[in-house]
Chains A and B, each alone.
Chain A
């Protein structure tokens, strides 16, 4: 066991070294690319400067200046591969008209790029388009001479750091196990010393010669015959049993910590945390109805029709759609039917943040029930929370009545938040 833990420590130190080297190389890369950008700047003329602004405003969403395909093709060398500037002027101002006119090259480009219609830009003048072309030329010059190993260098770093926490976790577990074993050893030692002390000296030379098993047996029997020690052990045992029973009884119906495996390894940490997609984008019912609703597959497709289509987890959505069957998510927060809860009431009217009850969902890889959902937990919040009565005529009379009786602000408890039949009916 000890050897194993040492081995892990050794591995971890290697990991840190590796991480350090990676960070250093990344820093070098970044500084390198900054230098390159500085090189590029002074080369441009006034025309290309204007072209750059036009490009970022109108073109950059679908086209890269390099030969990388974004939505439309990369624009490196676009002037030389197309039939000329006149053609480009027509194409950019109204590509669909050019395709409809039967232009051969226009149709070829249209078909080669999956028949995605390019937006028309009728407001761009010939000079504007020439400026954009000049900018594309200029942007490619320094990039071609210096470039090469540009993209795809940042990948190994996250992978290395991702394996960190789990190693640390096993290390902590092993350390805990060692500590527990040590405690056990010490306890056993104390027991033997105690039993030796209570054992009368009568067990003399005969006991000395017998094997360890027999010595342990006699030691234990001596300990058992000692009334003080026996009562201590019995009381300890009873206490543990009583505590476990009470804990067990209190945990009935409480699903805190429940984090079932879902049919698709969807991560809230990625969607809500990293990409900051609003909860309501998928859970469209939260503001309007009792249920927050689980999104149907068509909402997944709003992004995954394009992003990460090849991932095996996302392929599961595609299969579900093709076979026209629902994805069977496992419900995490399941309030028993004896209590009524309405999302809209809390989220829309009460302005309660999702995280108040669901915990830091945006940090969860797998959703876990964070709150106990007990009645005491509900009532606690109803006693604590002030009602937002500002600029709301509905509450005017209630507030006036409340003021007569109390100096405290109007709480949810004062407007029926503790009434049984509000939730149980």
Chain B
């Protein structure tokens, strides 16, 4: 009687030891959450949704903002200092296929300073350089794969003006797709300044 029990206990002990050391949480498991509603909130949250929404289309919590919505927190409308200060709302209604209008009408509202150029360079590195290359030669790592990325300092491109470059960033041109959704108008104008530097070769 006793012998039977001991072998069972021994087996149980060995089994538990294995279970304790070998069994770790899988990569697909978040583990135990204390107060789970703090992780999957009852209220609506961006970027985290467990239950389908019963009100919105397609069961989504997030809805698209109304067309033409402008995010206000980072939106500047006055540029320059003192008497040179200039107000520009940077709201343009130029159709995507009318690059000639952009060339004629648009001018950069941001006065060129050392700081704005430095910011332009940072933004260029962030949004453009993987295709257009560090120096605008079209030799970025992605550009080589993408193919057809032009050289800013080539004869056909080195004279392009503010409006043209701004319009291409916003709406794309040729093989390039529009980047207007990623970059605010103000940042686009700073990039334009830096691209002018790169056009000089």
Please report A residues at the B interface, Cβ cutoff 8 Å.
57-58, 61-62, 70-72, 116-117, 119-124, 216-218, 220-221, 223-224, 233, 237, 240-241, 243-244, 248, 251-255, 257-261, 274-278, 280-281, 284, 288-289, 291, 293-294, 296, 298-299, 301-303, 305-307, 325-326, 331, 334, 336-338, 366, 368
Known contacts A61-B150, A336-B39, A253 near B182 by CB under 8 Å: no
Cβ B7 vs Cβ A281 within 8 A? no
B20 and A57 within 8 A (CB): no
Minimum CB–CB distance from A259 to chain B (whole Å) comes to 4
- Which residues 1-37 of B sit at the A interface, judged by CB distance below 8 A? 2-4, 6-7, 9-10, 13, 16-17, 20-21, 25, 27-35
Contact A299 B181 (CB under 8 A): yes
B181/A296 in contact, CB under 8 A: yes
Per-residue CB contact flags for chain B residues 132-163 toward chain A (1 = under 8 Å, else 0) read 00000010011001111111011111000000
Quick one: given A123-B155, A303-B146, A336-B39, are A255 and B31 in contact (CB under 8 Å)? yes
Most chain-A Cβ atoms within 10 A of its Cβ — which of B27, B45, B126, B154? B154
Closest B residue to A366 by CB, please name it: B27
Decide: A258 and B148 in contact? CB cutoff 8 A. Answer: no
CA of A103 to CA of B37, assembled, Å: 69
B46 CB-CB contact with A under 8 Å: yes
In the complex, how many angstroms separate the beta carbon of A185 from the nearest chain B beta carbon? Answer: 13
Q: A117-B174, A121-B156 are in contact. Are A251 and B31 (CB under 8 A)?
A: yes
**Shortest Cβ distance from residue A169 to the other chain B in the assembled complex, whole angstroms:** 15
Inside 8 A of B58's CB, which chain A residues have their CB?
325-326
Q: How many Å lie between the Cα of A241 and that of B20 in the bound state?
A: 8
Evaluate contact between A71 and B148: CB separation under 8 angstroms. Answer: yes
Q: Chain B at the A interface: mostly helix, strand, loop or mixed?
A: loop
Given known A291-B46, A299-B182, contact A240–B34 (CB-CB < 8 A): no
Q: Is the CB of B13 within 8 A of A62?
A: no
Known contacts A255-B30, A259-B27, A275-B141; is-contact A334 B155 (Cβ 8 Å): no
* Residue in contact with A291 in the complex, picked from B2, B41, B47, B147, CB distance below 8 Å: B47
Q: How far is the CB of B141 from chain A (nearest CB, A)?
A: 5
B38 neighbours in A (Cβ, 8 Å)? 336-338
Q: Is the CB of B175 within 8 A of A306?
A: yes
Q: How far is the CB of A267 from chain B (nearest CB, A)?
A: 14
Contact A302 B27 (CB under 8 A): no
Is the beta-carbon distance between A334 and B39 smaller than 8 angstroms?
A: yes
Closest 7 CB pairs of A and B: A71-B148, A336-B38, A224-B6, A123-B155, A221-B3, A259-B27, A217-B3
A331 contacts B47, CB within 8 Å?
yes
How far does the alpha carbon of A334 sit from the alpha carbon of B29 in the complex, in Å?
13
